[in-house]
Structure 1
C-alpha cells in the first residue's frame, strides 16, 4: 500500500527470496547434497565442453546435443565475465543474478498504480519449488529476457520486440510473448532485430543454425505428456527402450514415432487456436499481452515431445508477469503451475529413478504434474478467450450503466 512517502520497500518477499536462493546456491555448490541425480552435471560437463568449443569461434558442430539457437552461445560463454571464479561457480552466480533481475523487474512493475505484488510472490515461491535445477540450466536467464519483454511492451512496444527477438535466438519460445500484442511496432522491431542478430552470428561463427538438423530423430522424452502412453505400455508388454538420446532420457522403440507425430499435430492445433484467437479478439486490455504469452507458452510446453523440469521456470516467470496486473484472469492457472512445480521436483530429481523405471509411483507423479499442466492450459485458454473476444449477440448493458472504460483499453497505436 502506498503511503505519504510512496510505496514501502517489499521486505517480506525480498527476505523470502534471499533465504530460498541461499538454499538453492548451497545445493548447486554441493555444500548440501540434493537427493536424486546430480543436476549440476549439465553445467560442469556439457556446458563446460561447449564453452571450450565456442570460445574458439565456432559452434559444437559434431555434438548432436547442441540443439539451441545461436545466441545461446552467449549464455554458455557468460561465465567468462567472472574470470575469478571457476566455470561452474560463475554460471551459478550469473543464474542467481538473472533470478534477481526478474525479482527487480516484477517488484518495480508491481508498485505502479493499478498493479499488484502478487506477481512478485509467484516468482519468489515458484522458483525454489523447482529445486536446484533452476540454477543448473540457462533457462532462468532466458526467462529474465522474456519477463523484461512483456513488461516493456506496456509502454515501449519496440523494446518488447527487440527483447523478444533476442530471447527467441536464445531459446525460441520467447517469440511467443508477441502473440498478444495489438500493434505492429513490436513485430516489426522483432523482425529487424532478429534478422540482424541472426546474420551477425551466421557471418561470425560457422554452424550457427546447425542445431536445426539435430531435432529430427528425437524420441519421446520420459517426462512429456505423450510418454505416459509408454510408461503404461511397459506394464503390458511393450518392448521399447529408455535411453539417453540427444541430451535427454527418451523412449525409443515401436510406435514412438506415432506418439511423437501426434505431439507435433497437437502443437500445430495449438498454433491454429492461437491464430483463431487473434482473428476473433477485439479487446486488448493492458494485461492481455501477458495473459496471451502465458497461455501460448502453456500450449506449446504441454504439447511438446519434451517437458524438461527447467521448462517450468518459463511458466513461473510468465505467470508472475500476469499477476502483476490486477485485471489479469490468470490466477487459477498460475496456481496450477505452482502446484505442478512441486510435483516436478518430485519427479526430477527426487524420484527420477521411479519415472525412468515406470513404477506405479513414478507414473502417478507424472500423471499429476502433466494433468495439472493440461488443466492450466485449458483454463488459461478459456479465460483468455472470454476476456478478449466479443460476440455480436451479447446482451447490451442496462440503460444508464456503462462498462468500465478500463476494460476496453486498447494497446493499438
Structure 2
C-alpha cells in the first residue's frame, strides 16, 4: 500500500475519536458521564494561571504538587487570548495529541518499524473519554514520547526533551533508564542535566517559590485508587474503621494503619528502583526496542507501587506502550494490551462508578481489584520480559546483531540512519 493509503485510516480514526472526545467534554455535565471532569481546568488550573501571572508559584496551596515546569504548561493558554482558558487549554492539548500522532506515524513508516504504535495511541486514548483533554498529562506524556522517538537519531535531543518533560512532572526521567550503556547514556544524561539546569534556573529567576511543590508532595497519603487503597477498600468490607477524605487533591484514606500502608508502598517503590538498577547493571544485550521497553517497564513499576494512581496516569502508560509498539522487536506487546484493558476499567472507576469506589462498596472494590490487578500483572510481566530479552544468550553461530547498533548510536541528528536487526525469536 502507498503511504497515503496506509495513513488514511489512521487519520480518519483520529478525527472521529477526537471529535467524540470533544463532544463528550462539551457535554461534561451529562449525568450518564458520571460527573464533571473539566472543572479542574476552568477552576483549579485557571486559579493557578492567575497566581503564576503575578510571578509566583502557588506556594501555600496544598494542591500544588508539581515541578516548576508545570507553570509553563498552565500559562500556555494565555497565548490564545481570544479563547476562554478552558477552550485554549483544550486546543493546546489537541495540538500536542496531533503532533505525537504524526510522530508515531512517521516512525511507523520507517523500515523495520510499525504503525501499530500510532494505532494504539489513536484508539486507546479515547477509552478515557474526555478526561485526557481536561488534564495536562497529555502534554507531558507527549514530551516523554517524543524524547524516546528521538533517541535513535540523537541522544542529545532525547536528553533535552526528557529534561523539559521532567520539569513538568518528574516521572519522564525514567525514560532514560534504558538508554544503551556507555557513550549514549553519558550523552543523554549530560544533555538532560544541562538543559534541566538552564530551564530551572530561568524559571527560578522569573518566579518565586519554585521548590514549593516538594512540601506538598511529601504530605500525600494513600489514595483510594492505589494498590494500597485497594487493600484498605477490602479491609473496610471486613470491618476496618477507616474513612475516606478529600486531601491534597484526591480522595485518601485516614485511620489506623494507613501510615503503615503508605510506608509499604514507598518500600515497594524502593524495591522497584532496586530491580531497575540491578537490571541495568546486568543487562548484556540491547536492541532498538530496549530503551523503549525499559521506559515502559520503569514507569509501570513506579505507577503500580505508588501511593497515588489517578486515572490520568493511564495516559502515561498508553503513550509509552504506543512508543514500544512502533518497534517490531519490542517485548511489550502483551503488556500493551493489559494496559489497554486497565485503561478501559479506569474509565468505569472514574468518573462512572467513583462513588462506589469512595464508599468501598462491593462494586467499587471489585472494580479497583480488577484495574489494579491488571496494572500489577502488567508491571511484573513487563519487567520479566525486559529482563529476559536483555539477558538471553546469543546463539554462538551468529554474532549479536545489536552490538553495532549500540556502538553507533548517534549523539547528534545525522542525515540518515539505519538499524540492522534480526527478528526476535
2:9 corresponding residue in structure 1: 12
Structure 2: 5+ residue runs without aligned partners? 410-425
Q: 1:402 aligns with which of 389, 398, 407?
A: 398
**Using the alignment, how far apart are the partners of 2:94 and 2:371 within structure 1?**
26
**Using the alignment, how far apart are the partners of 2:129 and 2:368 within structure 1?**
17
Q: 1:144 aligns with which of 133, 142, 145?
A: 142
Is the aligned partner of 1:388 residue 2:399?
no
Residue 89 of structure 1: CA displacement?
Answer: 1.1
**Using the alignment, how far apart are the partners of 2:296 and 2:407 within structure 1?**
18
**Using the alignment, how far apart are the partners of 2:104 and 2:29 within structure 1?**
30
Give runs of aligned pairs for residues 1-400 of structure 1, distance below 5 A. 1=1, 3=2, 8-30=5-27, 33=30, 35-182=33-180, 183=184, 184-390=186-392, 394=393, 396-397=395-396
Structure 1: 5+ residue runs without aligned partners? none
**Using the alignment, how far apart are the partners of 2:42 and 2:398 within structure 1?**
60
Change (3 A) 1:395 1:301: closer
Change (3 A) 1:254 1:260: same
Q: Tell me if the contact between 2:286 and 2:402 (Cα under 8 Å) persists in the aligned partners.
A: no
Give SS of 1:243's match: strand
**Using the alignment, how far apart are the partners of 1:194 and 1:139 within structure 2?**
19
**Using the alignment, how far apart are the partners of 2:290 and 2:394 within structure 1?**
23
**Using the alignment, how far apart are the partners of 1:192 and 1:395 within structure 2?**
37
**Using the alignment, how far apart are the partners of 2:271 and 2:380 within structure 1?**
13
Residue 235 of structure 1: CA displacement?
Answer: 1.8
Change (3 A) 1:408 1:232: farther
Residue 237 of structure 1: CA displacement?
Answer: 2.2
Residue 379 of structure 1: CA displacement?
Answer: 0.8
- In the alignment of these two chains, the number of paired residues is 404
Residue 23 of structure 1: CA displacement?
Answer: 0.9
Residue 395 of structure 1: CA displacement?
Answer: 8.3
> Cα deviations across residues 313-372 of structure 1 (Å, max 9, x unaligned)?
000000000000111111000000001010000000011111111111111111111111
CA RMSD of aligned residues (A): 1.6
**Using the alignment, how far apart are the partners of 2:28 and 2:147 within structure 1?**
35
Change (3 A) 1:291 1:408: farther
**Using the alignment, how far apart are the partners of 1:181 and 1:412 within structure 2?**
13
Q: Tell me if the contact between 1:284 and 1:408 (Cα under 8 Å) persists in the aligned partners.
A: no
Residue 160 of structure 1: CA displacement?
Answer: 0.3
**Using the alignment, how far apart are the partners of 1:352 and 1:408 within structure 2?**
51
Residue 32 of structure 1: CA displacement?
Answer: 7.4
Residue 404 of structure 1: CA displacement?
Answer: 6.5
Q: Tell me if the contact between 1:137 and 1:310 (Cα under 8 Å) persists in the aligned partners.
A: yes
Q: Tell me if the contact between 1:281 and 1:389 (Cα under 8 Å) persists in the aligned partners.
A: yes
Give SS of 1:324's match: coil
Give SS of 2:94's match: helix
Residue 236 of structure 1: CA displacement?
Answer: 2.3
Q: Tell me if the contact between 1:13 and 1:121 (Cα under 8 Å) persists in the aligned partners.
A: yes
Residue 254 of structure 1: CA displacement?
Answer: 1.1
**With structure 1 as the length reference, what TM-score do the two structures score?**
0.95
Q: Tell me if the contact between 1:283 and 1:408 (Cα under 8 Å) persists in the aligned partners.
A: no
Change (3 A) 1:160 1:136: same
**Using the alignment, how far apart are the partners of 1:28 and 1:172 within structure 2?**
28
Residue 295 of structure 1: CA displacement?
Answer: 0.5
> Cα deviations across residues 22-52 of structure 1 (Å, max 9, x unaligned)?
1111111227735112111110110011011
Residue 252 of structure 1: CA displacement?
Answer: 1.2
Residue 271 of structure 1: CA displacement?
Answer: 0.5
**Using the alignment, how far apart are the partners of 1:7 and 1:185 within structure 2?**
36
Q: Tell me if the contact between 1:283 and 1:409 (Cα under 8 Å) persists in the aligned partners.
A: no
Q: Tell me if the contact between 1:129 and 1:342 (Cα under 8 Å) persists in the aligned partners.
A: yes
**Using the alignment, how far apart are the partners of 1:235 and 1:363 within structure 2?**
9
**Using the alignment, how far apart are the partners of 2:367 and 2:23 within structure 1?**
26
> Cα deviations across residues 291-317 of structure 1 (Å, max 9, x unaligned)?
100000001111100000000000000
Larger CA deviation: 402-411 vs 69-78: 402-411
